[in-house]
């Protein structure tokens, strides 16, 4: 049984196509027009071992906000679609990733209930190329809203903005991978005492 999600999202601001295979090998083909964001989505696919295709055309003549936000919404929706009925998965996942002086701790519950807790150093530089670093939290908010997962991301320290953001995406990728993987001891079992996720 394949676990693939495909979402097309078109508005007056953006056109987004996302395809994700949860049981892939980390093959990534991403083009959003925002170089650093592409780099982060590459981390998501490669470290999650998700085959991830993202094609976004957005109103970059205004700024990068709509492009980044709508892409994150589409990725969240595609991830939820790929999960299917969630039977046999681990459901919970966590990972701690260092990147030189920065550290990210990520925990996820594929609960069916969207919730985000996010902390990172307040002194982070405002821009990485054309990427507004305040968008990291908004990417996570958008993903969580559509994927319907509970996500806790904590960066207790870090100095370099690139490192602070990148370790979050790497840790997110691994946590999502662990949570969505099939548990060989729980085949056909929904990991919930209330019978719904």
Residue 114: exposure state from Cβ atoms within 10 A (0-12, 13-18, ≥19): middle
- Write the pLDDT tens digit of every residue in 133-185: 999 999 999 999 999 999 999 999 999 999 999 999 999 999 999 999 999 99
Residue 81: exposure state from Cβ atoms within 10 A (0-12, 13-18, ≥19): middle
The whole-number average pLDDT for the span 78-99 is 98
- Break the chain into its structural domains and give their ranges: 4-186
- Write the pLDDT tens digit of every residue in 107-121: 999 999 999 999 999
- Residue 73: the pLDDT is 98
CATH of 4-186, one of 3.30.230.40, 3.20.80.10, 3.40.50.300, 3.30.930.10: 3.30.230.40
Which residue is it, tokens 């939820």?
A: 80
The tokens of 80 are what?
A: 């939820």
Maximum alpha-carbon separation in the chain:
51
Mean of the per-residue pLDDT values of the chain: 97
Return d(Cα 152, Cα 115) in angstroms, integer. Answer: 8
Distances from the Cα of 110 to the Cαs of 90, 152, 176, 185, in angstroms? 9, 12, 8, 18
Return d(Cα 151, Cα 166) in angstroms, integer. Answer: 17
Return d(Cα 173, Cα 45) in angstroms, integer. Answer: 7
- Residue 85: the pLDDT is 95
Residue 123: exposure state from Cβ atoms within 10 A (0-12, 13-18, ≥19): exposed
pTM of the entire predicted model: 0.97
Which residue is it, tokens 């969240």?
A: 76
Buried b (16+ CB within 10 A) or exposed e, 131-151: bbbebbeebbbbbbbbbbbbb
């Amino acid at each position: 049984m394949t676990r693939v999600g495909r979402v097309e999202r078109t508005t007056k601001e953006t056109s987004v196509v996302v395809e994700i295979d949860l049981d892939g090998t980390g093959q990534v083909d991403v083009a959003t027009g925002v170089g650093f964001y592409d780099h982060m989505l590459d981390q998501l696919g490669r470290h999650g071992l998700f085959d991830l295709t993202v094609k976004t055309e957005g109103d970059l003549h205004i700024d990068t906000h709509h492009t980044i936000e709508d892409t994150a919404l589409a990725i969240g929706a595609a991830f939820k679609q790929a999960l299917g009925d969630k039977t046999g998965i681990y459901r919970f996942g966590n990972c701690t990733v260092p990147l030189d002086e920065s550290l990210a701790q990520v925990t996820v519950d594929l609960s069916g209930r969207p919730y985000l807790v996010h902390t990172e150093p307040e002194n982070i530089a405002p821009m990485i190329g054309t990427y507004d670093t305040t968008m990291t939290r908004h990417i996570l908010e958008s993903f969580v809203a559509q994927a319907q997962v509970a996500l806790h991301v904590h960066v207790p320290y870090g100095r370099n903005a690139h490192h602070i953001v990148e370790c979050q995406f790497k840790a997110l990728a691994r946590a999502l991978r662990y949570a969505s993987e099939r548990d060989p001891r729980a085949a056909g079992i929904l990991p919930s005492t209330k019978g719904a996720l």
